[in-house]
Every structure is written in C-alpha cells, then in structure tokens.
C-alpha cells in the first residue's frame, strides 16, 4: 500500500512539475514527451503548430509595420548560464516614421526531439516584456509563436537598450531538444487618418490610459547567470531592489510578473504540512494551497497579487496541451499595482525599496516588476502625501475532516487593501484611491487511499482606481475571477505501470469598467478551458494516452469582439469556430 499511497504525490512531483528549474528535477523525475508516446502522430512533413487561444491584437488599418529581427539564437544548454544578450536599437534608422500606434513583439520558436517545457523571460533594459513557457516538442518537430502587444513599453522601445533572453534549458544524452528562437519587433506607424500630426491637449484621464514616460526595472541587474527575476525560495524570503525616481512623477504603476515552479508549481494542490506529517504521505508538497504575492514599498505593504493558476505545457496530462496550450502558458499575465497614493513617500529624490515575498511559499517563485512612471511636463517637482491606508490582515477560514489519507480540506481566505493619497502637480491636486479586494476558496478532497485528489478553487480579485482632480473625476476597475477545478485518480497499478485519469477546468474572467464625466465603458473576457484524459505510464514513458481539450473564448469590448469555440483531441482539432462580430457573440 505504501507504494500506491505515494502515487498522487509522485505525480505532482514528476509529471506535473515541468517549466521550471530543470537541474533540480532532471534526475529524480520521470518525463512525458510526445516523442515517447505511441500516439505521437507520424507526420514527416511539417512540424505541428502549437498555440494559445487569445484575441488577435488590434492593428491600425492601412499601415505597414516596420519589422525587424531583434534576436536569433539556438538555446541549447543554457541552464545556469548568463542570459543571451543583444543590442536593441529603436526603429528610427530603419524606417522613416517616428510615431507608432502599436508595437508587437513576436516570439517564434521551433524544436524537435525530446525536451522539457522550460520557463523563459525576455527583458529590455532589465524591464520584463514577456514571461512564457516553451511548448513541449515532439520527435517530428513543433513550431509555436507568441505575439504580444508591447505598446505600453513605448518609451523604453524608443531608445537603445540591452536585450536579455533567458531559457533554463538542459541538454544531455536523452534530452536533446534545442530551442531555435527568433524574436521580431513590429512597429505600426500611426495612421494619418487616425489623427497623426494632430495637436491635441491631453486630458489627465487620457494620460492615465497612455504609455508611461519612463519604465524602471525592479529586477536583478546584469551581468548575472539565470533570469533577471528574483527567486523567492520560502515563506520568509523577501527579495528587493532600491530605486530613485525623478521628483516630478505624478503617477506610478508597478507591473508585477510572477511564475511558480518546482515544489510550488501546483501550489493550489499542496497539502497542509500537518496533514502530510500525520498521514506520512510521501513526497507530497506542503504549506497548504493558499499563496499570496505581497508587494512592499519601504517595508509597507502596498498591494498584493493572488495569481492566476497557470498550468504549463507539461502540466497535469501533457496530452491536454497538444496543440492548444493552457490559458496564460505562452504569455503569463502580469498584474498592476497602483503606486500613486504612495508617491509622497518616493518624491524626495532618495532611494526607496520595492520588496516581494510570497505567503506560504515553497521553492521557487520567479518574481520581478516594472515601475511605470508618468512625468509632469509642467513642473519640475511634484509632491504628495498618503492620506489613508487600510490593510485587513489575511482572514482565514480553515476546516478539515480527515480519516487516514481520505477526507477534505476547506480554506477560505480574504483580504482588502485600500489606500488614498494626493499628488500636487501642474494638473492640480490629484487624489487617487486604490483598492484591492480578494476572496479565495479552495476545497481539496483526497480519496482512494491518497491516490485521488480533487481541487476546487476560485479566486475573486478586484482592483479599483478612483481619481479626482480639479478638472475631472474618473475611475477604472478590473473584476477578475479564476475558477479552477482539478481531478486526478491513479488506478490499475501493476509492475510499475499505472493509469492516471484526470480532468481540469481553468477559467480566466475579467470585466473592466471605466467611468468618467463622458460616460462608462465596459469590456469583458470569459476564457474557459476544460480538458480530460488518461495516460498509461510505465517507468518514464507514457505508454499510451488520450487528452481532449475544449475552449470557449469570449471577449466583448467597445471597439471589437472576439469569439472562439475550439476543441482538440488526440492531437487533432475537432472544431474551430471564430467570430469577430459583437452582435453574433453567444451570451
């Protein structure tokens, strides 16, 4: 029984723990690859294209982009080595235009042969532009691309910078897959018909929706080995960086990038430590299933991130993600923290510290951030003050009813953070109120003598910014929810062979609401993936298996809509319906 009892945990460590520090796990884990599957399709012609379902980037009409390759590299044994560097130059010399409406980064990669999925990052001047996970290759080869709208990094993209790209890849006799990567930038000039050259007074509200004047990296500095992210290895680990900002900033936003690996790759399924020691469940990961990324300025908590549970391309059952990959896995979400109410603490021309920690963290979290700053063009010095600050401590409701290995845990956690501050600038006195409100619920059930696990989790994550100035009053809100369901059962264990049955539901929903004197606007995204399948595993190999995935993506915005209903099974797309017309979007 000891053998079977350890299986769930074994699965969490081995099959579910890719896209991470490879060396730490390479030798103690087994691996699942397309190349090892008997169901791997025998395509000898073109490599398979893997993709993440997302809405297309809206590009200006009638303009041709200025495009160029910013990096080409074959990532072989890169783990623990310095990032690959490049000299980035803005497009001025290559294209006549100097004013761009949209800037798109395109990552394009191919790989053939056995390889893990690997976490990677792309930084420009230390500012992170993309956090992503590679697709898992097959013996016949795969290709995938990630297109990201990077217009918000405009100011950075207009000057010479050092480009840094890090993938933690490992090569040995078995894992021979080299990632062949090309990164392009596409600069779409402003369309003259859209008002190019028009001189328009920008209102304060417009400036809140425009790109920052400066972006400072809150990441580790080059030269170094590994990625530029900080590594948070335990619950008491705080990583930080000092920064001095100009004295005429009137708005600041910290954009936080987060990814979780190794023992915390499946944090939402981690058991409480007490249960692990009481049941002697071998190999299980502990500290329970709740995690919060805490962001501090000079050791005061200014905001938090309750992360979306990204499942990487090797996660749960790798057959789910061929060719449709998990929500967010090719372009991990970043999270904005409004720093404006706290600007008064930072405008003294001195150095201030941004720190990151993760409640209950196990090794390892990769975290860094970009500080977006808006400068007051009408004055050389702004000043500010924090007026009000209210942080509710984490409120936990915990219950469990275990007998032996089997039973349930229930955890509900909530928190709200609210701050108000003013900044005096040439726009007058701007008062900003910033509120975050979080609810988390997780019900974890273990059965079948510890071989079956069900996790039902939801995170509600609301951000709210209210701005008052002498000339305008406006607000913007983001209401997010991340429903998550996971089921896995291990059956038929004979001679080191077993079958795993699994189901997964993953949702990313976000409603954005803007209110101003000129009215309200709403956009909403509902992105829901369900996957189910089985795999027969013997030793290191998936002997056979089947994964099926269905995804429904519904975006309804002011300017356009996008709907996609797609499904794949056994490497094949079953149906794929796409619509752009708002009127036709199903409720």
Ligand X SMILES: *[C@@H]1O[C@H](CO)[C@@H](O)[C@H](O)[C@H]1NC(C)=O
Of 6-14, 234-242, 377-385, 448-456, the window that binds ligand X (rule: CB under 6 A) is 234-242
Q: Which two tokens stand for residue 221?
A: 């500095």
- Residue choice 60, 246, 407, 557 for contact with ligand X (CB under 6 A): 407
Q: How many residues of this chain interact with ligand X, rule: CB under 6 A?
A: 30
Site for ligand X in 10-39 (CB under 6 A): 39
Q: Using the rule CB under 6 A, is 412 a contact of ligand X?
A: yes
CA atoms lying within 13 Å on the CB side of residue 282: 8
Exactly one of 408, 475, 509, 530 binds ligand X (CB under 6 A); that residue is: 408
Contact 222, 83 (CB under 8 A): yes
Closest separation in Å from C-beta 312 to ligand X: 23
Interface pattern 36-55 for ligand X (x via CB under 6 A)? ---x-xx-x-----------
Q: Phi and psi of 278, rounded to 5°?
A: -70, -35
Cβ proximity to ligand X, 247 vs 400, nearer residue: 400
Binding test (CB under 6 A) with ligand X, winner from 207, 211, 505, 565 = 565
Q: Are 298 and 345 in contact (CB under 8 A)?
A: yes
> Residue 76 interacts with ligand X (CB under 6 A)?
no
| One residue of 67, 211, 273, 570 binding ligand X per CB under 6 A | 570
* CB burial readout 93-104, b (16+ within 10 A) else e: eebebeebbbbb
22 by DSSP, 3-state: which? helix
Positive or negative torsion for Cα 87, 90, 95, 96: negative
Instruction: Report the residue number, 132 or 138, with the smaller CB distance to ligand X.
Output: 138
For the chain, helix (H) and strand (E) counts, in that order, are 6, 30
Among 388, 401, 518, 558, binds ligand X (CB under 6 A): 401
Residue placing its CB nearer to ligand X in the complex, 197 or 393: 393
DSSP E strands in 306-349: the ranges are: 334-338
Q: Closest Cα to residue 287, out of 180, 361, 378? A: 361
According to the 3-state scheme, what is the secondary structure of 256-274? EEEEECHHHCCHHHCCCHH
* Sign of the CA dihedral running 355, 292, 51, 150: negative
Q: Say how many C-beta atoms besides its own lie within 10 A of residue 536's C-beta.
A: 16
**Torsion sign (Cα): 345, 349, 351, 353:** positive
Q: Where are the alpha helices (DSSP H) in 138-280?
A: 154-157, 204-208, 273-279
Site for ligand X in 249-288 (CB under 6 A): none
| Minimal distance, residue 512 CB to ligand X, in Å | 14
Handedness of CA 196, 201, 206, 210 (dihedral sign): positive
Of 133 and 444, nearer to ligand X (C-beta) is 444
Give every CB contact of residue 587 below 8 A, 6+ residues apart in sequence: none
Confirm or reject binding of residue 236 to ligand X (CB under 6 A): yes
Q: Measured at CB, which residue is nearest to ligand X?
A: 460
Contact with ligand X (CB under 6 A) among 4, 36, 89, 191? 89
Q: Which of 99, 495, 519, 559 binds ligand X (CB under 6 A)?
A: 495
Contact between 392 and ligand X per CB under 6 A: no
Instruction: Annotate each residue in 427-466 with x if it binds ligand X (CB under 6 A) or - if it does not, as one string.
Output: ----------x-x-x------------------x-x----
Judged by CB under 6 A, the stretch of 23-31, 61-69, 232-240, 332-340 that binds ligand X is 232-240
SS3 content of the chain, % helix, strand, coil (to 5): 10, 50, 40
From the list 106, 214, 233, 301, which residue makes contact with ligand X (rule: CB under 6 A)? 233
Q: Is 397 in the site for ligand X (CB under 6 A)?
A: yes
- With CB under 6 A as the contact rule, the residue among 339, 488, 552, 561 that binds ligand X is 552
Answer yes or no whether residue 234 interacts with ligand X by CB under 6 A. Answer: yes
For ligand X, the closer CB: 113 or 386: 113
When the beta carbons of 191 and 439 are compared against ligand X, the nearer one is: 439
Q: Does 160 bind ligand X (CB under 6 A)?
A: yes
Cis peptide before 323, with omega less than 30 degrees from 0? yes
List residues near ligand X by CB under 6 A: 39, 41-42, 44, 87, 89, 160, 233-234, 236-237, 397, 401, 407-408, 412, 414, 437, 439, 441, 460, 462, 494-495, 546, 552, 565, 570, 575, 586
């Amino acid at each position: 029984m000891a053998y079977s009892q350890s299986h769930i945990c074994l699965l969490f460590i081995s099959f579910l723990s890719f896209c991470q520090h490879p060396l730490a796990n390479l030798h103690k884990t087994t691996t699942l690859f397309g190349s090892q599957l008997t169901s791997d399709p025998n395509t000898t012609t073109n490599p398979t294209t893997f993709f993440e379902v997302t809405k297309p980037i809206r590009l200006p009409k009638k303009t041709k982009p200025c495009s160029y390759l910013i990096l080409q590299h074959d990532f072989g044994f890169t783990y623990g080595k310095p990032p690959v560097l490049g000299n980035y130059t803005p497009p001025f010399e290559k294209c006549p235009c100097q004013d761009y409406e949209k800037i798109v980064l395109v990552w394009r990669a191919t790989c053939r042969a056995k390889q893990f999925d690997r976490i990677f990052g792309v930084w420009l001047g230390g500012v992170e532009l993309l956090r992503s996970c590679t697709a898992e290759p097959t013996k016949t080869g795969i290709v995938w691309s990630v297109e990201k709208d990077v217009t918000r990094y405009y100011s950075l993209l207009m000057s010479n910078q050092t480009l840094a790209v890090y993938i933690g890849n490992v090569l040995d006799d078995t894992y021979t897959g080299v990632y062949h990567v090309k990164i392009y930038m596409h600069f779409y000039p402003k369309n003259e018909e859209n008002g190019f050259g028009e001189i328009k007074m920008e209102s304060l509200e417009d400036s809140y929706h425009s790109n920052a004047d400066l972006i400072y990296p809150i990441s580790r500095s080059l030269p170094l080995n590994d990625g530029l992210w900080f590594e948070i290895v335990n619950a008491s680990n705080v990583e930080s960086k000092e920064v001095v900002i100009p004295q005429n900033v009137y708005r600041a936003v910290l954009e936080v990038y987060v990814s979780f690996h190794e023992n915390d790759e499946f944090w939402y399924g981690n058991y409480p430590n007490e249960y692990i020691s009481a049941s002697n469940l071998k190999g299980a990961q502990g500290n329970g299933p709740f995690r919060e990324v805490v962001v501090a300025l000079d050791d005061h908590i200014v905001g938090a991130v309750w992360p979306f549970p990204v499942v990487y391309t090797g996660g749960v059952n790798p057959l789910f993600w061929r060719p449709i990959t998990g929500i967010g896995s090719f372009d991990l979400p970043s999270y904005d923290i409004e720093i404006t109410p706290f600007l008064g603490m930072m405008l003294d021309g001195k150095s201030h510290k941004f720190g990151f920690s993760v409640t209950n963290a196990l090794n390892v979290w990769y975290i860094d951030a970009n500080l977006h700053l808006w400068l007051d063009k009408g004055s050389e010095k702004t000043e500010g003050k924090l007026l009000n600050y209210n942080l509710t401590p984490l409120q936990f409701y915990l219950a469990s009813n275990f007998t032996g290995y089997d039973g349930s845990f229930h955890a509900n956690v909530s928190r709200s953070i609210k701050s108000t501050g003013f900044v005096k600038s040439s726009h007058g006195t701007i008062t900003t109120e910033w509120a975050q409100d979080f609810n988390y619920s997780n019900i974890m059930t273990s059965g079948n003598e510890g071989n079956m696990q069900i996790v039902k989790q939801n995170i509600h994550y609301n951000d709210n910014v209210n701005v008052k100035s002498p000339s305008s009053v406006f607000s913007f809100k983001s209401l997010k929810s991340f429903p998550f369901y996971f089921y896995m059962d291990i059956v038929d264990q004979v001679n080191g062979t077993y079958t795993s049955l699994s189901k997964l539901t993953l949702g990313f929903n976000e409603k954005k609401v803007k209110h101003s004197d000129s009215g309200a606007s709403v956009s909403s995204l509902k992105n829901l993936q369900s996957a189910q399948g089985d795999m027969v595993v013997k030793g290191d190999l998936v002997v056979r298996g089947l994964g099926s995935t269905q995804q429904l993506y519904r975006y309804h915005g002011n300017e356009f809509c996008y709907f996609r209903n797609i499904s794949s099974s056994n490497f094949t797309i079953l149906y794929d319906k796409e619509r752009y017309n708002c009127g036709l979007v199903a409720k």
